[in-house]
Amino acid sequence: MTVTEERTTVPTLTTTSPMRVALNAALRRSLEDDDRVVVMGEDVGTLGGVFRVTDGLKADFGERVMDSPLAESGIIGSAIGLALRGYRPVCEIQFDGFVYPAFDQIVSQLAKMRARSGGRIKLPVTVRIPCGGGIGAVEHHSESNEAYFCHTAGLRVVACGNPQDAYDMLRASIASDDPVIFFEPKKHYWDKAELDLAGELRPSSIESARLMRRGEDATLLAYGPTAKLAADAAEIASSEGRSLEVIDLRSLSPIDLVAVCESVRRTGRLVIVHEAPVFAGLGAEIAASVGRECFYELEAPIERVGGYDVPYPPARCEADYLPDVDRVLDAVDKVMNA
């Protein structure tokens, strides 16, 4: 997987919508295209989800949109059973911090059942998780726990960074025969963009990284909630005479190492940005892999910008905790001055 044309082509613009509406459109389209798709989760029916991502679906698709009792293990466990019966469930976990009660069903059941069965069983289950901070929420509502799932063989883990990807990636995830953990940056739910909703299914959207901006001096690698941050930082850097390349990873497991290394070989410098704590985070794996593959092309040690290694702090501290433009550009200074 190298940089594909798809990443650089501007889509046909048809409508302007926020990310949560793009996700809603992807769910609606998937429900229309395949009558085995079902949507389940807490408050996803009549209420339309606490973020309204599933708004209106119950009215149009009836019992295929199911309000679940408040039991996350039950949501994932029953989704596995539905998948074994031939359904294609899309589960909503209401907030990132509430996925842990479902951890066993995800890690020991959903992820492993295919391998345990010697490849006989497929479990096309999509688990949507609003993730990340920046909305002033109470505890357990701002976490970035993707590393747990990336560390689990048998799962695909993806994160969308903009409304068009939200639409394409969710459709592709639902159509995938593998279990997919789908992270949605909740602080960008209301960000608008012009959307192409007419396109064909784009499986590559959950397999390949997206080149957001070409540059020469250093590569910024981000995903989910930090994709826009990296783009903003690159824009500011350009006004200061620095040319930064920006890649939105999109697929967190497996990673598109080919695309990342291709970029790093050109720029010679890499800054990885995620909201999750840096210690044993996804950035550590990427830094190790890129360090091995691009050792002789690197001009500076790889920098990682992320959350600190403390529990997610109270909301009034989160501006200090979360990576921002200043921290990203500070890391850029380090790789440029190394």
Partner 1 sequence: MKPIQFVDPDGVLDRDAVDNGGIPVDGDLARRLYRDMVLGRRLDQEAYSLQRQGELALWLMSLGQEAAQAGSINAIRGTDYVFPSYRDHVAGLARGISTQELLRQWRGATHGAWDPESHNFHIYSLVLATQLLHAVGYAMGVRLDGSDTVVLTYFGDGATSQGDASEAFNLAAVTRSPVVFFCQNNGWAISTPTEAQFSGPLVDRAAGFGLDAVSVDGNDAIAVFVETQRAVERVRSGGAPAFIEAHTFRMAGHSTSDDPLKYRSVGIVDHWASQDPVDRMRKLLHREEWADEAYFIALAGEAEALAAETRDACFNIAEPDLGDVFRATLTTETPLLQLERQRFEQFKGSFL
Positions touching partner 1 (CB under 8 A) are: 1, 38, 63-64, 66, 68-69, 71, 73-74, 76-87, 89, 101, 104-105, 108-109, 112-122, 153-154, 156, 176-178, 254-255, 257-258
- Distance of closest approach, residue 88 Cβ to partner 1, in angstroms: 11
Cβ atoms 113, 80 nearer than 8 A: yes
| Peptide linkage before 89 cis (omega within 30 of 0) | no
Nearer to partner 1, 79 or 331 (CB): 79
Helix or strand run (H / E) with residue 114: helix 113-116
- Distance of closest approach, residue 229 Cβ to partner 1, in angstroms: 27
For 313, the token pair is 């702090």
- Distance of closest approach, residue 124 Cβ to partner 1, in angstroms: 9
Q: Name 173's Cβ contacts closer than 8 Å, sequence gap at least 6.
A: 126, 156, 158, 180, 182, 206
Q: Name 11's Cβ contacts closer than 8 Å, sequence gap at least 6.
A: 164, 194, 195, 196, 199
- Distance of closest approach, residue 89 Cβ to partner 1, in angstroms: 8
Instruction: State how far the alpha carbon of 313 is from the alpha carbons of 104, 187, 196, 273, 296, in Å.
Output: 26, 17, 38, 19, 39
Q: Which residue has the tokens 């920006």?
A: 246
- Distance of closest approach, residue 296 Cβ to partner 1, in angstroms: 20
Residues in the chain: 338
Catalytic residues, which ones? Answer: 141
* Phi/psi of residue 248, nearest 5 degrees: -95, 115
Helix, strand, coil shares, percent, the chain, to 5: 40, 20, 40
